[in-house]
Chains A and B, each alone.
Chain A
Amino acid sequence: MNDAPVTAPPRAAALALGDDALVLSHRLGEWAGHAPVLEEEVALANIALDLLGQARILLSLVGDEDELAYLREERAFRNLQLVEQPNGDFAQTIARQLYFSTYQLFLYRQLAAGDSAFTGLAAKAVKEVAYHQDHAAHWTLRLGDGTAESHERMARACGALWRYTGEMFEPVEGLEVDWRALEDSWRESVAGVLERATLTLPDGPRSGAWRAGAGRQGLHTEPFGPMLAEMQHLHRSHPGASW
């Protein structure tokens, strides 16, 4: 991000995108030392690092990255409920990655093609996100079309997270995005991957744990509080210290 935005970026939009990346990065970081195969230790950490890099740029657009990450409480975070969901088994992590990275991919493509405070950032991030989507899609195929057990687990994971996918398409103030087109592209892409993985697109409600868009308003799910407590405790224990 060398090209500094001419106008200050809209705070709500930068926080929404930054918090998504920050929180999902944190969740992926929890896999370190627990992955099913060494190559996935590398891959999951790699994706987590990309997301953390995006979060740092986005949060820095609106303030001090550490103050924003470590000193806001749960109600002030603007991330999607999807990204705060616990890792679960590998299938749940992959389903979360598939839903979110596909969303990020089409969102950043639109932002990269537009002309806003996010254009430069999106142009850089879209390359990383394409890799994340590729990784998630390939694992969806392997798990969906692998063994009976992996098929079952992947189907369950896709179903369990489905309810959190609606909030991705609620407009965010300050983001100039064609939300309808975003949702259509997302649905088509995810359905295509799932079909090739011998899975079907779930069809339950997509209203989220409260209502669609709740995460963007600081209404989160219960696992998010403990996640933040762990993430913030050391920083908060030493007010004013630098690290």
Chain B
Amino acid sequence: MTAVTAGTAAEATMETTAEGFEAAFDAAVAADERIEPRDWMPEAYRASLVRQIAQHAHSEIIGMQPEANWISRAPSLRRKAILMAKVQDEAGHGLYLYSAAETLGTGREELLDKLHTGRQKYSSIFNYPTLTWADVGAIGWLVDGAAITNQVPLCRCSYGPYARAMVRICKEESFHQRQGYELLLALSNGTPAQHEMAQDAVNRWWWPSLMMFGPPDDESAHSAQSMAWKIKRHSNDELRQRFVDICVPQAEALGLALPDPDLRWNEERGRHDFGAIDWAEFREVLKGNGPCNEQRITQRRRAHEEGAWVRDAAAAYATKRRAGSVPAEDGVRMMEATA
């Protein structure tokens, strides 16, 4: 009997403690305090963040592909340099975000494996092809624009490491977005063929960009909980509306039309009304049936598989150094040996 009593007491204490942790967590979120890696957090909060941050990281990595597709064909050296720098930044953003995810107790290897096996997703937008040079501008203006609209509120996300990563990423994304806009402006004001190229790209990227905000609020599985936890600050539809309202005057300034006959100013709402999104297409792309899903994941997997021997070599080399069989380099630059 004694043992049972003791056990019950211990269980009761644990329960009280867990309740205490949960109350402290809820209070911290309510007070807009940041949750940090060593703080207690509900398992579902942790899982939800891992899912979102991993998907965000994967999007940066897969998102390199449609733009890298034009590096070797960029039409001027200045544009080529801008594009290379942008794709490099995206790899860097992926690295920040994998690091943020790792503070939640997962690892980059594990996350990449989930990406490669389709168990974790990336943004649907990167399953569309870049068919002309103008697509590079449309991605900068619309895709990065939508990403920024989504991500600026994440700078106030309740999870500290994610929020801090977003501050850095948003600064660079804003820069990319302006460059994309400027690229499109140059085309729009260029020759008739260039103008047509720009319009065609906007026609093809507009709707997929609106889909980046996710399903409508009444169909969004994770939204309510994410908002309660202050991971998300605004609903999908609210952010989408905000994006449309930002883009309309920008499109006018560019001299390019947005491909939506139902798009018009609504005096009463003080916002733009816009046409219906093709959610059937969105679901198909999410299911893996978009124009480039297969190609994107195959290229990513191939880069990883073909790079395995390189990673193995680096690991073997590091092991030899640790074992002390060869003198450690200790960060001594090779240049000192060859200078």
Contact = CB atoms under 8 A, between A and B. Distances in A.
Contacts of A26: 72
A146 B313 contact: yes
Interface in B191-233: 191, 193-194
Contact of B338 (A137, A141, A145, A234): A137
Nearest to A148: B316
Contacts of A30: 71-72
Interface residues of A, number: 60
A45 B306 CA distance: 19
B295 to A, nearest CB: 11
B326 A145 contact: yes
A147 B312 contact: yes
B303 A234 contact: no
Interface in B298-337: 299, 302-304, 306-317, 320, 326, 329, 333-335, 337
Interface in A189-243: 189, 192-193, 196, 230-231, 233-235, 238, 240-243
A66 to B, nearest CB: 5
B111 to A, nearest CB: 11
Contact of B88 (A46, A133, A142, A143): A46
Given A32-B84, A147-B312, A193-B338, A37 B73 contact: no
A149 interface: yes
Interface in A165-199: 188-189, 192-193, 196
Contact of A69 (B77, B85, B304, B306): B77
B35 interface: no
Given A49-B84, A238-B193, A189 B338 contact: yes
A62 interface: no
Given A130-B335, A143-B313, A242 B71 contact: no
Given A45-B88, A145-B317, A36 B307 contact: yes
Contacts of A235: 75-76
- The prevalent SS among residues of B at the interface is helix
B186 interface: yes
Interface in A44-60: 45-46, 48-49, 52-53, 55-56, 59
Chain A contact residues: helix, strand, loop or mixed: helix
B65 interface: yes
Given A149-B309, A241-B194, A33 B334 contact: no
Nearest to B303: A34
B54 interface: no
17 contacts: A29-B84, A33-B303, A35-B303, A37-B311, A42-B88, A46-B88, A53-B81, A59-B77, A66-B76, A70-B76, A90-B310, A146-B317, A149-B309, A149-B312, A193-B337, A230-B73, A234-B75
Interface of A: 22, 26, 29-30, 32-42, 45-46, 48-49, 52-53, 55-56, 59, 65-66, 69-70, 89-90, 102, 130, 133-134, 137-138, 141-143, 145-147, 149-150, 153, 188-189, 192-193, 196, 230-231, 233-235, 238, 240-243
Question: 3 tightest CB-CB pairs across the interface, nearest first?
Answer: A36-B307, A146-B313, A150-B313
